[in-house]
């Protein structure tokens, strides 16, 4: 994430129709096929690693999406850096405590290094691996512009910009706007909860004592309330955010939002604000194509505050600067 401010590089322009995605522009310094000469097998190598991990653990998609999201409020792989004796890194921030997938990125980096030493950044491997996990989980298989370089700075307080799970709609919209992302990006990127998991402690108040009333949140579907009350025997119990297709990247999550079956406050808040509710409804009824729109918003996020050219470095290992 680093300390580079909130400027946003020009976003990849996408031609979207019939669910297909074709890149017709590029972000400054990034382009599809950046490694076509220097490491032409990088994408199949990374996809092979993702496929191997996903075959053992179907929650890999959710893990990588979370890792990508938390790093890409500035996509420079700073989240991957370990703390040192003199510095606490972003990994130490409470919001990043449950982030995982580092082992997959390390495995992919090691395989890439064996073929193309010192060429491919950890930041690009994160972006490619996340795309591959989405595609392998039934979501869009979109082109990823590459050419990112890795940051050398990772400071724990830089993670303070991440939205809170209990943010209201306006707060979430503003947090995304501060990074140059639109309300549509907010809706689509929260749509990554289609494969998400959360702990009961993050929403227990909605089930038993909403706003101090001693009752459940009246905006939540009563059948879902009863189901979750039975399941949430402790704050540590995990539940799927998508109760229909929890391992598939699809629009079912938005169908559930329309039916008042959102579990997290930040998700339900998308229905409260007109600017986001219209987008949720368009995704649910199919007038806005989920695969195309999701791919575009993932690309938009992947272009935030990237390092290119001679800035940053190409790390030899993802957890430490060279």
Question: Using only C-alpha atoms, what is the Rg of the chain?
Answer: 19
Task: Please tell me the predicted confidence (pLDDT) of residue 164.
Answer: 64
Chain mean pLDDT for the chain = 88
Evaluated on CA atoms 37, 34, 107, 92, the torsion sign reads positive
Task: Please tell me the predicted confidence (pLDDT) of residue 279.
Answer: 98
Tokens of 149: 């370089």
Q: What is the CATH number of domain 14-162?
A: 1.10.520.10
Enter the DSSP assignment of 163: P
Task: Please tell me the predicted confidence (pLDDT) of residue 11.
Answer: 25
Average pLDDT on 59-70 reads 95
| Distances 40 to 32, 112, 142, 166 between C-alpha atoms, Å | 12, 10, 18, 43
Catalytic entry in 70, 93, 193, 205: 70
Is residue 24 predicted with pLDDT exceeding 70?
no
Evaluated on CA atoms 230, 248, 304, 93, the torsion sign reads positive
Q: Where in the chain is the domain with CATH 1.10.420.10?
A: 169-296
0.85 surpassed by pTM = yes
Is residue 295 predicted with pLDDT exceeding 90?
yes
70 is catalytic: yes
- CB neighbours of 84 closer than 8 A, spacing ≥ 6? none
Residue-wise pLDDT tens digits, 31-42? 999 999 999 999
pLDDT classification of 163: cutoffs 50, 70, 90: low
Is residue 23 predicted with pLDDT exceeding 70?
no
Report helix, strand or coil for 14. Answer: strand
Nearest Cα to Cα of residue 128 among 112, 113, 117: 112
Task: Please tell me the predicted confidence (pLDDT) of residue 162.
Answer: 63
Is residue 165 predicted with pLDDT exceeding 70?
no
> 169-296: which CATH architecture?
Orthogonal Bundle (1.10)
Residue-wise pLDDT tens digits, 242-280? 999 999 999 999 999 999 999 999 899 999 999 999 999
Q: Where in the chain is the domain with CATH 1.10.520.10?
A: 14-162
Rounded Cα distance between 96 and 67, Å, is: 9
């Amino acid at each position: 994430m680093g300390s580079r401010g909130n400027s946003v590089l020009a976003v990849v322009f996408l031609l979207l129709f019939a669910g297909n995605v074709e890149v017709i522009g590029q972000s400054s310094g990034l382009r599809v096929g950046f490694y076509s000469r220097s490491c032409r097998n990088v994408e199949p190598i990374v996809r092979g690693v993702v496929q191997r991990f996903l075959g053992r653990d179907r929650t890999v998609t959710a893990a990588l999406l979370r890792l990508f999201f938390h790093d890409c409020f500035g996509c420079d792989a700073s989240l991957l850096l370990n703390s040192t004796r003199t510095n606490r890194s972003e990994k130490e921030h409470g919001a990043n405590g449950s982030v995982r997938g580092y082992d997959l990125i390390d495995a992919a980096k090691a395989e890439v290094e064996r073929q193309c030493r010192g060429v491919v950044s950890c930041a690009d491997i994160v972006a490619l691996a996340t795309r591959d996990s989405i595609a392998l989980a039934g979501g869009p298989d979109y082109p990823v512009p590459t050419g990112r370089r890795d940051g050398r700075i990772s400071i724990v307080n830089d993670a303070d910009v991440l939205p809170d799970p209990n943010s209201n709609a306006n707060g979430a919209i503003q947090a995304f706007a501060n990074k140059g992302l639109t309300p549509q990006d907010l809706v689509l990127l929260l749509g990554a909860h289609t494969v998400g998991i959360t702990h009961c402690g993050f929403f227990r108040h909605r089930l038993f004592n909403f706003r101090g009333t001693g009752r459940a949140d009246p905006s939540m579907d009563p059948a879902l309330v009863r189901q979750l009350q039975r399941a949430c025997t402790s704050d540590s119990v995990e539940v799927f955010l998508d109760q229909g297709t929890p391992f598939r990247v699809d629009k079912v999550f938005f169908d559930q939002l329309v039916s008042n079956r959102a579990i997290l406050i930040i998700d339900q808040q998308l229905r409260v604000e007109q600017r986001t509710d219209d987008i949720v409804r368009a995704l649910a009824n199919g007038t806005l194509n989920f695969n195309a729109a999701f791919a575009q918003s993932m690309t938009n996020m992947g272009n935030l505050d990237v390092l290119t050219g001679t800035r940053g470095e190409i790390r030899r290992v993802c957890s430490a600067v060279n």
